[in-house]
A = this chain, B = another copy of it.
Amino acid sequence: MNTATPNTGEPRYAAIKRHIRRQIETGSWPVHFQVPSENQLAQEFGVSRMTARRALTELTDEGVLMRSQGLGTFVAEPVPAGSLLEVRNIADEVSARGHSYSNRILLLQECEAAADVARALGIPEGARIFHSIIVHCDNELPIQWEERFTNPGLAPDYLQQDFSATTPNAYLSRVAPLTEADTTVEAIAAKPAIAAALAIEANSACLQIWRRTKSSAGTVSFARLVHPGNRYRLGAQLRF
């Protein structure tokens, strides 16, 4: 008998993970609901306990479940925490959570650099730059407003990109290998335009991230990322 991977292309524990995720997303299993034990899952899915266990362990590592020895396994409270290092490719981050990624392009044009933008990009005031505004969604729910100013000398094909298939950051990483970025984080009250795009109330608290990405050739891009405060958390690991 075949004791290893079936030829379906998908590991068996993945099916269990998907099943559990669906129960949680549809509301069948609310927060703090005790999910079936390892042995129960093993029997239901016709796998060994170690395989069922792997599904539960991975979902626990991903923050979906909570386990405690002797008690059982429970649905954890949903916290959409993103790693600060992964903010640069938000599409991956969303799909890593098992959600669907989509975006809306609000603006995509060439214009003249205002004084502050020109200073941030290290180019003369009034030079031509690309200006884009994109709203990124996690399961159709807006989670990031991205307003970006790009140096056309370092990313000439920016306006021709299909940003429904790729994100600006993914494109920029491809054309100009990024070497460094400086970032500042602050809290702001959402202005009406942003609030409307993110489907939140005006003046509600948001995380605003300014990020300037540089390559060896100079400053490539200057972005302003706004997250609804109650829908997003930045996670960071510090080691001393």
Contacts and interface: CB of A to CB of B under 8 A. Distances in A.
Interface of A: 61, 79, 81-82, 84-85, 177-189, 203-207, 227-230, 232-240
A209 B182 CA distance: 19
Contact of A229 (B61, B84, B186): B186
A207 B187 contact: yes
Given A84-B185, A188-B205, A205-B229, 4 more contacts: A178-B240, A181-B238, A187-B205, A204-B205
A232 B179 contact: no
A20 to B, nearest CB: 16
Contacts of A177: 240
Contacts of A207: 185-187, 207
Copies of this subunit: 2
B183 A238 contact: yes
A206 B79 CA distance: 19
A183 B237 contact: yes
Contacts of A232: 186
Nearest to A63: B237
Nearest to A189: B205
Contacts of A227: 187
Contacts of A182: 235-238
A176 to B, nearest CB: 11
A49 B60 CA distance: 24
A179 B61 contact: no
B187 A239 contact: no
B84 A236 contact: yes
A183 B81 CA distance: 11
Contacts of A189: 204-205, 229
